[in-house]
């Protein structure tokens, strides 16, 4: 009987994800551990950790992209700087929210600065249609500057 229950719960995961979540939560709350679909639950938890890291990397890349636009895209700055500054604030806010929910991600933020910056340079280079050597090789902001609502890159 237990095998059939486990098989039907695993099937539930594929057929109705929301119901699977609700069922799993109820089983955990009721200490019905033998009925929990552990394989899929562990996969979901692992996916959650990866999701938050991917989100942080994406937000940081977009933040750097907008820093670069603001600092180097002179021909568009006058018209677009208010929007870019708004996006900078938006990305910072989302980064801070992620770090508030998961403070253990702050070291990861420092770890991905260079990779996120390099990706942002490639994106900005394509959007601005300029050579990548126009941008500094090293990231234009550190963790403290990234999280500082008042900090913006230098521009004319």
Q: Torsion angle, CA of 13/16/17/18, rounded to 10 degrees?
A: -140
Instruction: Tell me what percent of the residues of the chain surpass a pLDDT of 90.
Output: 83
Q: Which residues contact 102 (CB under 8 A, 6 or more apart)?
A: 52
Q: What is the reported pLDDT for 23?
A: 94
* Rounded-to-integer distance, Cα 48 and Cα 29, Å: 20
Residue range 60-73: mean pLDDT, rounded? 97
* Rounded-to-integer distance, Cα 35 and Cα 41, Å: 12
| Cβ(68)–Cβ(124) below 8 Å | yes
51-61 per-position pLDDT tens digit? 999 999 999 99
78-92 per-position pLDDT tens digit? 999 999 999 999 999
30-52 per-position pLDDT tens digit? 999 999 999 999 999 998 889 99
5: pLDDT confidence band, cut at 50, 70 and 90?
A: low
pLDDT higher than 60, residue 2: no
Structure tokens at 102: 């998961």
């Amino acid at each position: 009987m237990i095998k059939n229950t486990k098989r039907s719960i695993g099937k539930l995961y594929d057929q109705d994800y929301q119901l699977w979540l609700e069922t799993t939560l109820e089983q955990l709350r009721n200490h019905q551990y033998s009925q929990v679909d552990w394989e899929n639950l562990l996969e979901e938890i692992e996916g959650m950790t990866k999701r938050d890291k991917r989100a942080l990397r994406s937000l940081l890349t977009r933040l750097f992209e907008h820093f670069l636009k603001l600092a180097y895209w002179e021909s568009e700055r006058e018209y677009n700087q208010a929007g870019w500054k708004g996006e900078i604030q938006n990305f910072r806010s989302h980064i801070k929210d992620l770090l508030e929910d998961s403070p253990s991600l702050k070291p990861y933020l420092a770890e991905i600065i260079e990779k996120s910056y390099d990706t942002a340079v490639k994106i900005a280079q394509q959007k601005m249609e300029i050579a990548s050597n126009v941008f500094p090789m090293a990231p234009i902001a550190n963790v403290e500057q990234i999280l500082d609502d008042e900090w913006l890159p230098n521009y004319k």
